[in-house]
Amino acid sequence: MQSAEEIISFQNVAKNYRGGNDAVEDINITVNKGEFVCLIGTSGSGKTTTMRMINRMIEPSRGKIIFKGKNLKTFDPVRLRRTIGYVIQNNGLMPHMTIKDNITLVPKLLKWQQDKMDRKAKELIKLADLPESYLDRYPAELSGGQQQRIGVVRALAADQDIILMDEPFGALDPITRDDLQELVKHLQEELGKTIIFVTHDMDEALKLATHIVIMDSGHVIQDDTPDNILQHPGNDFVKELLGEERLLQAQQNTLSVSDIMSKNPAKITLGQSLAEAIREMSYRHVDTLLVTDDNNKLKGFIDLETINDRYSKYSNVSDIYQANRFKVKTTSYLRDTSERILKQGYKYVPVIDDDNNLIGIVTRASLVNIIYDAIWGKEELDNPDNIKLPDTIAKESDNA
Amino acid sequence: MISFLNQHGSELIIKTWEQIYISAFAIILGIIVAVPLGILLTRYDKTAKYVMSISGMLQTIPSLALLALMIPIFGIGKVPAIVALFIYSLLPILRNTYIGMKKVNANLIDAARGLGMTTMQSIFKVEIPMSMPIIMSGIRLSTVYVISWSTLASYIGAGGLGDFIFNGLNLYNPSLIIGGTIPVTILAILADYLLGIFEKKVTPKTKRSEV
């Protein structure tokens, strides 16, 4: 996002209604070209009001909106709307028009040539992943998901580069919703459309957005990337909206290896003898030792099996150690590491710093600790003094 | 029957024509006024309430009284009859137009606006087509009423099939009464039937026609 081109910018925008409800206050949002912005909040948070100000369906009471470098007020509302795609929850297809007429509704308003419209209709029905024969059908003859696909591609018919979507998938079943989410993500990622998407579904927002604006009772509470919001929820409202489960999950997602590694790996230096290695193993209750040189640089490992096989021929660690196939740096994300441990069957992974110094080790037991965190709660384990577990369990976890 | 036709045949045709003429005039005027007014009222909700109750009140005036009330203003003949029947035709058409327009799915109107239709485009391309069945049923209702009520118009000298009926009543001649009533009934049924066909034509399709 280095060459971010500002496309919409709200500057201290407010909207007040006489009844006092549904108002928004002091909105400052900037949308860059190609972004996927999710406006999220509970009902009455002002998210839809905010979105509808972009195509002048609602006029702000105060403040101004800059659209493509010009004050939005200088645009003619009707012509403006024809340049901005618009998708609403219940697809908004005209029941008395064929799919083709529905798709080409805006081009028709713009008085395109018939053959150009025909081509566009065919192109878009393909994008919606529906057969061309559907063009002659009426909306009532399509399933809800198919109708909304048409609703989505219709928003592109006049080559609009900005699309507003107002809870477009709220009424769909989860599988259909997934499909459509793929479709709109594709529009943003592959076709470079800028999408402003209103939703109350946090999963949807986290999945799609490059930029989430969290709103509550007319105010912007937090405006950031999904990752940052998960890592640093602005306040309790955001935390609540995200849910404890997601926060914990997010923490694990970005937990780095150094957060969970054991800092005291069983190891041995190159110069030591195999007898010493066996003693160390039995002392530490392990079957594998990491091998380092005298400067603590990681060289490899030896395991009990190898020692057994070759004990008669060799006497030094340096003779029979094997190089590590897999090691990680302290800064690596745990999510990548744990996947390899679990899926590829590694029992442990040595952790090194940038200079190949052995720093620690991540074992399957370390992963188990994470599960402990998830089950018993992070807080308690952060402060061992506070653990309110029965004695026996507490002891067990000490042993682990 | 044959003797009735022999005796009154040519008169029957003239009276029927008068009946059609009066009713059609009233209905067409009613449509011209009530449909646009109904559409207009959907944009002014507060006014709509008043207009609806006024036209409801007009509807409650007994039809004979209304016809009689026209005489001081328009004298006797066809004009006062047409005006009175026109007033009667207003309410069903007005009410149905208003309700029909109001009933159009707000989502569709929102979509129409959001996609960049002007208010006029939204009315003509979306709202009227969508409310056509309800508007048409108002027109059909009015038409049937007006055709039957226009028999009363003969009281104020407008002519029509009412002449037969009233003559029959005065002369105690049942064949005249029946001879006037049957054509009125047929006219009403026929008009309703024709409007039904018309309604099908103007109601937009929402499904492909079945083969």
Residues near B154 by Cβ (< 8 Å), separated by ≥ 6? B160, B161, B162, B163, B165, B166
A35 and A193 Cβ atoms separated by less than 8 Å: no
* pLDDT tens sequence across A142-182: 998 899 999 999 998 998 889 999 998 888 888 888 888 98
- CB contacts of B118 in chain A (<8 Å) are 78
Say yes or no for a CB contact (<8 Å) between B130 and A96: yes
Tell which A residues from 110 to 139 touch B, by Cβ distance under 8 Å: 136-139
Chain B residues with CB under 8 Å of A90 CB are 105, 107
Instruction: From chain A, pick out residues whose CB is under 8 angstroms from the CB of B209.
Output: none
Where residue A163 sits, what CATH number does that domain have? 3.40.50.300
ipTM of the complex, rounded to two decimals: 0.78
Higher pLDDT, A250 or A179: A179
A38 pLDDT exceeds 90? Answer: yes
Domain ranges, ordered by start, for chain B:
2-202
pLDDT at A398: 44
Tens digit of pLDDT for each residue in A321-335?
888 777 888 777 776
Question: Containing H/E element for B96?
Answer: helix B78-103
Q: Which domain holds residue A273?
A: 258-369
Same domain? A37 vs A80: yes
Looking at the fold, whether A234 and A267 belong to one and the same domain comes out as no
Asked if residue A55 and residue A20 are part of one domain, the reply reads yes
Instruction: Write the pLDDT tens digit of every residue in B28-53.
Output: 999 999 999 999 998 888 888 888 88
Question: pTM of the full predicted structure?
Answer: 0.70
Q: What is the dihedral of CA A349, A354, A360, A366, to 10 degrees?
A: -50
A388 — pLDDT class (breaks 50, 70, 90): very low
Which pLDDT value is given to residue B58?
80
φ and ψ at A358, to 5 degrees? -75, 120
Structure confidence by residue, pLDDT tens digits, B167-185: 888 888 888 888 888 889 9
Q: Model confidence over B103-134: pLDDT tens digits?
A: 998 889 999 999 999 999 999 999 999 999 99
Q: Phi, psi at residue B39, to the nearest 5°?
A: -65, -45
What homologous superfamily does CATH list for B2-202? Answer: MetI-like (1.10.3720.10)
Using the beta-carbon criterion (under 8 Å), do A95 and B206 form an inter-chain contact? yes
The alpha-carbon gap from A130 to the nearest alpha carbon of chain B, in Å, equals 18
Mean pLDDT of A178-207: 89
Residue B63 token pair: 């039809």
Quote the number of domains for chain A.
2
In the sheet with A358-363, reading across from the earlier edge strand, the strands are A328-329, A348-352, A358-363
Same domain (yes/no): A194, A286: no
Banded pLDDT at A361 (limits 50, 70, 90): confident
To the nearest whole Å, the CA of B114 is away from the closest chain A CA by 6
The C-alpha of A370 sits at a distance from chain B's nearest C-alpha, in angstroms, of 48
- Asked if B91 contacts B57 with a C-beta cutoff of 8 angstroms, the reply is no
Question: Does any domain span residue A375?
Answer: no
DSSP helix/strand/coil, B42: coil
pLDDT band at A395 (very low <50, low <70, confident <90, very high): very low
Domain shared by A38 and A142, yes or no: yes
| A167 contact residues in B (CB cutoff 8 A) | none
Cα A214 to its chain centre, rounded Å, is 15
Which of A86, A112, A165 to mutate against chain B (most B CBs within 10 Å)? A86
Q: For position A349, what pLDDT does the model report?
A: 84
| Judgement on whether residues A240 and A263 belong to the same structural domain of the protein | no
Nearest CA in chain A to B119: A78
Interface test with A, best of B104, B109, B113, B115 (most A CBs within 10 A): B115
Looking at the structure, tell me whether residues A140 and A17 fall in a common domain. yes
Sign of CA dihedral A279, A281, A282, A287: negative
Question: Which of A55, A57, A92 is the closest to B108 by Cβ?
Answer: A92
Q: To the nearest whole angstrom, how far is the Cα of A161 from the nearest Cα of chain B?
A: 14
pLDDT of residue A393: 42
How distant is the Cα of B76 from the closest Cα of chain A, in angstroms? 47
A121 and A98 housed in the same domain? yes
- Which residues of chain B are within 8 Å of residue A196 when distances are taken between CB atoms? none
Domain co-membership, A22 together with A59:
yes
pLDDT value of position B124: 92
What pLDDT, in 10s, does the model give residues A268-282? 888 888 888 888 888
- Give A390's pLDDT tier (boundaries 50, 70, 90): very low
* Best CA proximity match to A265, nearest among A169, A344, A361: A361
Q: Cβ distance A289 to A267 under 8 Å?
A: yes
Asked if residue A333 and residue A193 are part of one domain, the reply reads no
Instruction: Return the residue of B nearest to A51 by Cα.
Output: B114
Question: Which among A81, A94, A109 has the least Cβ separation from residue B114?
Answer: A81
Q: Is residue A380 part of a domain?
A: no
A107 and A154: one domain?
yes
